[in-house]
Amino acid sequence: MPGHAVSEWDLQPAREEGDTAERAVAIDGSFGSELLELHLARYEPGRSRPRALDRVQEVMYAAAGQGTLIVDGKEHELEPGTAAYLISGETYEVDNPGPETLLLVSAVAPQDSARQLDERRIVRFDDQPALTASGDREFRYLVTDEVGCTDLTQAAPPSTATSTTR
């Protein structure tokens, strides 16, 4: 896939009626990505409508704001620098106590077979060891096979997160 950059302002967000979530697709098949989709989701205050993952997995990263990810009745706190892994067959909601918007960047990729999720769904940037990249740059792995995600890897430099397929 050739390099691709898009301004956040050029994205076309969509919101279902009654939902607190507004999602925009930044990368998908229309840009030549056969497997990976990159989404930008903004959650306004309140609880979102349920989002079901059917034959896909999702890796998300909280870039701004705070909230709670709710999966199967279990609550997981989201704050900047927090990553989460969700598997096919799961349904989740996001509760934003406000007043700020919660901004999540997520990668979605196919997942045909049901996987077992490691007990560790949430990974915090600050809890991961810094690794050296080229030059004086560093990064940290977030969602990897350590939490049961064998198809994607999520890594983050000190101020952002990225996802790639393996």
Domain architecture of the chain: domains with CATH: 8-119 (2.60.120.10)
Count of CB atoms situated within 10 Å of the CB of 125: 20
Tell which wins on pLDDT, 49 or 11: 49
| pTM recorded for the entire structure | 0.83
pLDDT at position 61 over 90:
yes
Q: How many residues are listed for the chain in this entry?
A: 166
Whether the Cβ atoms of residue 37 and residue 23 lie closer than 8 Å to each other: no
d(CA 144, CA 155): 9
73 sits in the region (left: phi over 0; alpha: psi -120 to 50; else beta) called left
- What is the percent of the chain where pLDDT is above 90? 41
Q: Look up residue 72 and give its DSSP letter.
A: T
Q: How confident is the model over 141-147, as a mean pLDDT?
A: 84
Q: Look up residue 50 and give its DSSP letter.
A: P
| Residue 143: pLDDT band with limits 50, 70, 90 | confident
Would you state the structure tokens that stand for residue 143, as one six-digit string? 């969602």
CA end-to-end distance (rounded Å), the chain: 14
pLDDT at position 166 over 50:
no
Q: What is the pLDDT of residue 105?
A: 92
d(CA 56, CA 58): 7
d(CA 149, CA 107): 12
Residue carrying structure tokens 């004086």: 136
d(CA 159, CA 139): 9
Paired sense of beta strands 122-124 and 82-86, if any: antiparallel
Residues contacting residue 10 through CB under 8 Å, at least 6 positions apart: none
pLDDT at position 151 over 70:
yes
